[in-house]
Amino acid sequence: MVRNIGNQIATSAGSVEYGVNHLNSSLLLIIGHSSCGAIKAASGDYSTLEDPIKKELDTIKIAKGVASIDGVKANVNDQVAQALVLFGDKVKAGHLIIVGGVYDFSNDMKQGSGKLNIVNVNGDIEADKIAGDLSVKLASHHPAHEHH
């Protein structure tokens, strides 16, 4: 598990690459959350914050003035896109699934407070397709005949 402001690949690339490339993780979860302070800051003027914080916020690519939950989803999708650049070959080979989700403790997505809403699977953001893709991909990674 890697934690950082804005659930970013760029500021934790070494840890993420180690997990995928050396620990052979088959699932990479990128999880944002509602009411995220980093997303709120990145969508506004953060020029008065400390330099290390500004450096991390600079790598969050969302529009200025975007609503909080829309910014969170946009950032999760951007992080999945960045992960696909790094690990697309593993995804294509069926060795890795990249899932983007939003932990919505504020019920901003109107799916229920405290739910983890999957918003992206390997770059796919269409809700109907995500559900089908995720169940098929997870089933193929863990066949019923295997024992764990």
Query: Where do the structural domains in the chain lie, given as residue ranges?
Result: 15-141
Look up the pTM and report it: 0.86
- Using one digit for the tens of pLDDT, what is the confidence trace for 30-42? 999 999 999 999 9
Q: State the pLDDT confidence band at 146, using cuts at 50, 70 and 90.
A: very low
**Residues 6+ positions from 42 with CB-CB distance below 8 Å:** 6, 57, 60, 62, 71, 75
Is 3.40.1050.10 the CATH number for 15-141? yes
> What's the mean pLDDT in 112-128?
90
Question: Which residues make Cβ contacts (< 8 Å) with residue 100, sequence separation at least 6?
Answer: 29, 30, 31, 32, 76, 77, 79, 80, 118, 119, 120, 121
